[in-house]
Amino acid sequence: MKTRITELFEIEHPIMQGGMHYVGFAELAAAVSNAGGLGIITALTQKTPEKLLKEILKCRDLTNKPIGVNLTFLPTVSSPDYPGYIKAIIDGGVRIVETAGRNPQEHMPALKAAGIKVIHKCTSVRHALKAESIGCDAVSVDGFECAGHPGEDDIPNFVLLPLAADKLRIPFVASGGMADGRSLVAALALGADGINMGTRFMVTTEAPIHENVKQAIINASELDTRLVMRPLRNTERVLVNPAVEKVLEVERVKGADLTFDDIADEVVGVYPNVMLKGAVDTGAWSCGMVAGLIKDVPTCDELIKNIMAEANSIILERFGDISS
């Protein structure tokens, strides 16, 4: 399948894997790219730029297909060495960066001077237009369904994507709630040029995370995510568990007086324990509503092949049958 996204990133299928803290390691990124999609290493999971460069080189040993790196600009206690991470990306020969969180404007000159294609993840049309205006090559439009940070507008993809399609000139992928060939065809119909998936790629053979995490997602239904940190305007969609119930209770009790410190134990530094040790109930970790659609653990190659086969059959057979 050829779209503006496959052309831009020089990939076979219009499917990318979003950056995921403590999930987006070399093994997963390489598996997605080897399957013809775009795999993404998550920069900030690597504690230093030197470690990121090592992870990129490890990924390079596993695939000769295009790969990308996610650079997340989120409010953190101490600001990471972003120029150092960008240098590691350039030194590692990576030519695609997925930015997310704050506006990446201040880093665009360094990225563009190195010939890097930038896809910025946004949760609203106004942010997508801003990304277009500062020279991003593409955007990833993240609907309210998504895992991680859906923003504060709460607009689901059935409304957000066509609005984005009406306004944007640069290519965009649909992100949030994407799982299968139906998602891909729907996203294309709504005007997107491809899809971005997070939660679905966690539940693959190659995702280098604890089996407990994969099983927790398989066991979850579409009703099992919650929004935390909304009172702090840093909303995150996470899988419900006892730690998340505790956060929500503290948020209810504290009301407008809530501070980050009140919930820090449940939301800071939990990813290594959850993703690597399998302690899935010890804190809040991102998960999308799409968990309700995830029932198996395919390889990335099987997953992407199935998505493309299902998409093609919908377009050729189902649409062929019902048109005219």
Ligand X SMILES: Cc1cc2nc3c(=O)[nH]c(=O)nc-3n(C[C@H](O)[C@H](O)[C@H](O)COP(=O)(O)O)c2cc1C
How many beta carbons lie within 10 A of that of residue 266, not counting itself?
21
Q: Tell me how far CA of residue 287 lies from CA of 179, 201, 284, in angstroms.
A: 13, 11, 9
Of residues 90 and 217, the one with the C-beta less far from ligand X:
217
The residue whose Cβ lies closest to ligand X is: 198
Minimum distance from CB of 320 to ligand X (Å)? 29
Q: Which tokens hold the place of 309?
A: 């086969």
Question: Binding residue for ligand X (CB under 6 A) from 13, 21, 120, 226?
Answer: 21
Of residues 257 and 306, the one with the C-beta less far from ligand X:
306
Of residues 18 and 36, the one with the C-beta less far from ligand X:
18
Order of strands, sheet of 96-101, starting from the edge strand that comes earlier in the sequence: 15-17, 195-197, 172-175, 138-142, 117-122, 96-101, 67-73, 39-42
Minimum distance from CB of 80 to ligand X (Å)? 12
The angle formed by the CA atoms of residues 97, 147 and 23, to the nearest 5 degrees, is: 60
Name the β-bridge partners of 38.
16
Site string for ligand X, 277-296 (x = CB under 6 A): --------xxxx-x------
Q: Smallest Cα–Cα separation from 226: which of 213, 212, 240?
A: 240
Residues 140-199 that bind ligand X (CB under 6 A): 142, 145-148, 175-178, 196-199
Minimum distance from CB of 253 to ligand X (Å)? 27
**DSSP for residue 280:** T
Site string for ligand X, 106-145 (x = CB under 6 A): ---------------x--------------------x--x
Minimum distance from CB of 200 to ligand X (Å)? 6
Asked if 136 contacts 112 with a C-beta cutoff of 8 angstroms, the reply is no
Residues 247-276 that bind ligand X (CB under 6 A): none
Q: Is 298 helix (H, G, I), strand (E, B) or coil?
A: coil
Of residues 36 and 271, the one with the C-beta less far from ligand X:
271
Q: Is 100 in the site for ligand X (CB under 6 A)?
A: yes
How would you classify residue 125: left for phi > 0, otherwise alpha for psi between -120 and 50, otherwise beta?
Answer: alpha
How would you classify residue 53: left for phi > 0, otherwise alpha for psi between -120 and 50, otherwise beta?
Answer: alpha
Minimum distance from CB of 287 to ligand X (Å)? 6
Q: Is 14 in the site for ligand X (CB under 6 A)?
A: no
Minimum distance from CB of 213 to ligand X (Å)? 8
Minimum distance from CB of 121 to ligand X (Å)? 5
Q: Tell me how far CA of residue 15 lies from CA of 35, 76, 178, 202, 234, in angstroms.
A: 10, 29, 10, 15, 27
Contact footprint for ligand X (CB under 6 A): 18-21, 23, 42, 70, 72, 100, 121, 142, 145-148, 175-178, 196-200, 202, 285-288, 290
